[in-house]
Amino acid sequence: MISTNVEEFRGGYWYNLGIGTQLMAHEHYLNFEIVPTIAQDLDGIQLETDYSVIASWSKAW
């Protein structure tokens, strides 16, 4: 039996709270966000997440 093919091993829930900022300097944007996990209850073999960090850079025209 393949564990990823079992319906009971899919789903669950997770709640995240994203907190971020955006800086603009000389037509450049720098974005930074940290997303901690508030609560989660995953079914099956899914990996739990403690937090995520997201950063991006872009240039304005």
Written as six digits, the tokens of 41 are 């209850």
* pLDDT tens readout for residues 9-20: 778 889 999 999
Is the pLDDT at 2 greater than 70? The verdict is no
pLDDT at 60: 82
Each domain of the chain, given as residue ranges in start order, spans 3-59
* pLDDT tens readout for residues 9-59: 778 889 999 999 999 998 999 999 999 999 999 887 778 899 999 999 999
Strand partners, 32: 21, 55
The whole-angstrom separation of Cα 58 and Cα 21 is 14
The whole-angstrom separation of Cα 37 and Cα 14 is 7
Nearest alpha-carbon partner for 15 in 59, 49, 43: 49
